[in-house]
A and B are shown apart, each in its own frame.
Chain A
């Protein structure tokens, strides 16, 4: 793509023979990786393949057991992240690592504020921050609080902070997982700008489209080992997927019949919500979910999908409408009311609202059953072992070690643990909010397969996903949300991807041209 990315440019980062051992696991096994100035280099692999570990080795979070890291021509061993930053390596993580309660300007310039005679010169701090932001095409009030901006903007602010640090290497770890299409475009524009100015960019994302759109080169890891490094144009997409998971992905195709399954909607629905809403959050809407049915919820980010299902679960209180479970009107003001009625909810925010990081995998899995029983009746060790091994096996949690801390698992495996927690409570209705976000292809397939399987066996599911292919593959019926409002329901049978996108974008606006 760019001349800079050609072979004759010496790499700014050269990692050779990197090996990192964790207790009982070889996280990285003799991996080589090089990054050249002026290229966007994607690091691909399933969860647990070693991407994050490699990044953390480069940024000084983990120390390496063997191998060498050469940055800018000299061998380095970063003891701390500050060392790595001083060497020109900046990282923007999936979860923004800035200070939410400081102003934008303070965040951008933190630690590099210009000083005047009386300490920090705040006026100049803000004007310089504004200059950095403007160079990325961001016209933000630098005195506004960071937390008043969307995650997308916060991410761009984090990037401008990297520029203040004069980064030669910019690492973007899943920067797009919570951005909408327009925001991704804006981000990519900035990435290209930085690339053309000679910054080396290491990009990690689970969205294959985006990887191909932005990358010059792609390096693939699997199980802690290097599979290969390729120019993006030399690596067809199906080959990339095969390299990542090491097996063909045919089994997903068989799932496409799941959405064609005929649902008997004559009986009493498992859940019937009428006029359920909450002022200022989501407008009142209706929804019925029948026995064994998967109802997909589609819509853009912020369209009110999450807000709506949180009301069904009692995670937030509805201020209008009624909810019937199995034909009986029920009060839903706390999650445990929903749980008592056989409803389970897995939040889109795995880390903040799902996993209890410092508890073991086993404790996380039985937490749902335990909470339902109350503290007096402890799940016995024998029962715990049985439940845990049953679900870890059924869902393929890796590593298969129930005594490991859940926080140390990769995202996909954490999601499986959460699924296990809820399935262990044998719910009648399972609400899954973005269960496949930010996880690898293999785990995605595992989770979708499980949902199809369980719903066929009679479980009702509300399935929310930004990946519309998933929704269309699994759901027999799709509810479309827009602008915090339920705008309609569609049968999957007479629906294809383009039709659904068109509906989300244009329904009710008169213009159906696309």
Chain B
């Protein structure tokens, strides 16, 4: 039992379950899943589907944070990626053709890869602090996206492209399948090869890793490239959801939600040890919280405050200092009143 409680994912998981429980109590319909016309419907299915872009971005962010870095440009890369994809489809003679859509997606993701590589170059080769290096693209990226779309919101009509965000395969939302595939690829890549442990080594002690012969430059660079690619796919997905390339709204503030999800999943911003499973839980927590606001009917003017309060509660639930404090309080309650000196001793113990 204690072993279970001590597991690093125990408290993140508890926070997620508690949030789900609140929703089910508030509205028993929350947990219902129905199947109609080969699609699954229900609030939980919506959460899975809508969480896909954040999931992709947060996975990339996890790797970057593990190397002691941070990637603020993910939202901007989403905007560029969406703009590239829709501009290609829009300018094509056959916007509804599968080949057009495939080319558009591949080019958009490749462009995102280049942008990720640019971030990685600034950080790992030029040694610029990650927050500054990625700030450059965060600010410039949306401008680039606007340049690509010619300053307007490009809209298209293309069924294959719409499928990315809105389609279903075997009852399951296609967007969630993409997210699942990304989780699987990243998890296998990190844990089945030595990439994960080398990334952690670089994040914990870069100099010791260098002297041990680890190619830390390549590893850091790779993390930013991965983050760029993930953001690119997320951007394609976002644009597919609204069938428009909106350079200002795409991935707006997603960098902060992604960082939040990573941290809620138990990965430290100091770098080093990271947990893919933790990030997955963190993403679901953030997404569920968004749905909770809708479900409980919190007025939109108050929703940011509500969001913030719940986040603080979730963070408190996970804090080891709060756990210690809670333990000592419950001990004191059980053994009745005491002299201050004895009480102090207990706190120390």
Interface residue ranges, A against B (CB under 8 Å)? 63-65, 75, 77-79, 313, 315, 334-336, 339, 345, 347, 352-359, 363, 367-368, 370-379, 421
Q: Please tell me if B71 contacts chain A, counting CB pairs below 8 Å.
A: no
Stretch at the interface among B9-17, B33-41, B201-209, B330-338: B201-209
- B5 contacts A by Cβ under 8 Å: no
Interface residue B273 (Cβ < 8 Å from any Cβ of A): yes
Given contacts A77-B344, A375-B219, whether A315 and B211 have CB atoms under 8 Å apart is: yes
Contacts of A363 in B (CB 8 A): 197, 201
Knowing A65-B349, A79-B348, A421-B212 are in contact, say whether A371-B205 is a contact too (CB < 8 A).
Answer: no
B28 at the interface (CB under 8 A from A): no
A79-B211 contact, Cβ under 8 Å, with A359-B201, A370-B197, A375-B198 = no
Closest to B217 in A: A334
Interface string of B200-227 (1 = CB under 8 A from A): 1100110111111111000100000000
Cβ contacts A to B, 15 pairs, < 8 Å: A63-B349, A75-B341, A336-B215, A339-B213, A353-B211, A354-B208, A354-B211, A356-B212, A363-B197, A367-B197, A370-B197, A371-B198, A371-B213, A375-B194, A376-B193
- Bound together, the chains give a CA A347 to CA B208 distance in angstroms of 9
Contacts A370-B197, A375-B198 known; A347 to B211 CB distance under 8 Å? Answer: yes
Which residues on A sit within 8 Å (CB–CB) of B198?
370-371, 375
Residue of A nearest to B273 (CB): A358
For the complex, give the distance between the alpha carbons of A87 and B273 in Å. Answer: 37
CB-CB under 8 A for A367 and B211, given A375-B193, A377-B194 = no
Contacting pair B348 A357 (CB below 8 A)? no
Q: Give the distance to chain A from B212, nearest Cβ to Cβ, in Å.
A: 5
Inter-chain contacts of B7 with A (CB < 8 A): none
A353 near B348 (CB under 8 angstroms)? Answer: no
Q: Please, which residues of chain B bring their CB within 8 A of the CB of A78?
A: 348
Complex-state Cα separation, A155 to B347, whole angstroms:
33
Closest to B218 in A: A375
A374 to B344 Cα, complex, angstroms? 52
Which residues of chain A have C-beta atoms less than 8 A from B205's C-beta?
Answer: 352, 355-357
Nearest chain A residue, comparing its CB with the CB of B347: A79
**Is B195 close to A, CB under 8 A?**
yes
Query: Given B192, B200, B212, B348, which contacts A64 in the complex, CB threshold below 8 Å?
Result: B348
Q: A77-B345, A375-B219 are in contact. Are A358 and B212 (CB under 8 A)?
A: no
CA distance A356 to B210 in the complex (A): 11
Shortest Cβ distance from residue B7 to the other chain A in the assembled complex, whole angstroms: 15
How many Å from the CB of A403 to the closest CB on chain B?
A: 14
B95 proximal to A (CB < 8 A): no
From residue B274, how far is it (CB to closest CB) to chain A in Å?
Answer: 11
Given A367-B212, A378-B193, 18 new contacts (CB under 8 A): A63-B348, A64-B349, A77-B347, A335-B212, A336-B215, A339-B213, A345-B211, A353-B208, A353-B211, A355-B205, A356-B205, A358-B272, A359-B197, A367-B214, A368-B213, A370-B197, A374-B215, A375-B193
Q: A63-B348, A79-B348, A358-B273 are in contact. Are A352 and B207 (CB under 8 A)?
A: yes
B212's partner among A75, A371, A374, A375 (CB-CB below 8 A) is: A371
Contact pick for A356, options B192, B195, B201, B215, CB 8 Å: B201
Residue of B with least CB distance to A78: B348
The smallest C-beta distance from A15 to any residue of chain B, in angstroms, reads 14
- Which B residues lie within 8 Å of A379 (CB)? 194
Give the chain A neighbours of B197 by CB distance below 8 A: 359, 363, 367, 370
Main secondary structure of the interface of B (DSSP, over half): helix
Instruction: Give bound CA distance, A314 to B211, whole Å.
Output: 9
Residues of A with C-beta under 8 A to B213: 335-336, 339, 368, 371-372
Q: Which residues on the A side are within 8 Å of B211 (C-beta)?
A: 313, 315, 335, 345, 347, 353-354
CB neighbours of B214 from chain A (8 A): 336, 367, 371
B interface, CB within 8 angstroms of A: 192-195, 197-198, 200-201, 204-205, 207-215, 219, 272-273, 341, 344-345, 347-349
State the CA gap A78–B349 with chains docked (Å).
Answer: 10
Say yes or no: B204 contacts A357, CB within 8 Å. yes
Chain B CB count within 10 A is highest, among A334, A356, A370, for: A356
Main secondary structure of the interface of A (DSSP, over half): loop
Given contacts A77-B344, A335-B211, contact A358 B204 (CB under 8 A): yes
B201 with A367: CB separation less than 8 A? yes
Contacting pair B347 A378 (CB below 8 A): no
Provide the bound-state CA to CA distance between A106 and B80, in Å.
Answer: 48
Residues on B with C-beta less than 8 A from A354 are: 208, 211
Contacts of A374 in B (CB 8 A): 194, 215
**CB nearest to A371 among chain B residues:** B213
A313 to B212, CA, bound (A): 11
User: Which residues from A are CB-within-8-Å of B219?
Assistant: 375
**Residue of B210, B214, B344 ringed by the most chain A CB atoms within 10 A:** B214
A250 to chain B, nearest CB (A): 36
Separation of A371 and B199 alpha carbons in the complex (Å): 11
B187 CB, nearest partner CB in chain A, Å? 14
Chain A nearest Cβ from B285, distance in angstroms: 25
Bound state CA distance, A356 and B205, in angstroms? 6
**Residues of chain B contacted by A352 (CB below 8 angstroms):** 205, 207-208
Alpha-carbon distance between A371 and B349 when the two chains are bound, in angstroms: 42
A79 touches B344 (CB 8 A): yes
Residues of B within 8 A of A345 (CB): 211
A335 to B208, CA, bound (A): 11
Bound complex: CA A373 to CA B197 (Å): 13
Q: How far is the CA of A334 from the CA of B208 in the complex (A)?
A: 13
Docked complex Cα distance between A370 and B192 (Å): 13
Residues of A within 8 A of B193 (CB): 375-378
Nearest B residue to A337, CB-CB:
B213
Q: With a CB–CB cut-off of 8 A, which chain B residues contact A65?
A: 349
Q: Is the CB of B208 within 8 A of A358?
A: no
Across the interface, name the chain A residue whose C-beta is closest to B343: A77
Is the beta-carbon distance between A378 and B194 smaller than 8 angstroms? yes
Expressed in whole angstroms, the Cα–Cα distance for A373 and B194 within the complex equals 10
Q: Interface centre among B200, B207, B213, by most A CB within 10 Å?
A: B213
Tell me, in angstroms, the Cα distance from A357 to B208 when the chains sit together: 10
B210, A335: Cβ atoms under 8 Å?
yes
Report how far A478 CA is from B57 CA in the complex, Å. 57
Scoring B194, B197, B210, B212 by chain A CB atoms within 10 A of each residue's CB, the highest score goes to B212
Q: Is the CB of A353 within 8 A of B344?
A: no
Most B CB contacts (10 A, CB to CB) among A357, A359, A363 go to: A359
Complex Cα spacing A376 to B205, Å: 21
Which chain A residue lies CB-closest to B198? A375
Closest B residue to A368 using CB positions: B212
- Given the interface contacts A64-B349, A359-B200, A367-B201, does A375 sit within 8 Å of B195 by beta carbon? yes
**Which A residue sits closest to B203, measured CB to CB?**
A358
- Smallest distance from the beta carbon of B28 to chain A beta carbons, Å? 43
Residues of A within 8 A of B347 (CB): 77, 79
CB-CB nearest in chain A for B271: A358
- Return chain B residues, CB-CB under 8 Å to A368: 212-213
Is the Cβ of B209 less than 8 Å from the Cβ of A356? yes
Q: CA A290 – CA B268 in complex, angstroms?
A: 47
Closest to B345 in A: A77
CB-defined contacts of A370 to chain B, threshold 8 Å: 194, 197-198
Q: How far apart sit A345 and B200, CA to CA, in the bound complex (Å)?
A: 21
Q: With the chains together, A371 CA to B347 CA distance in Å?
A: 45
Q: Which residues of A contact B207 (CB under 8 A)?
A: 352-353
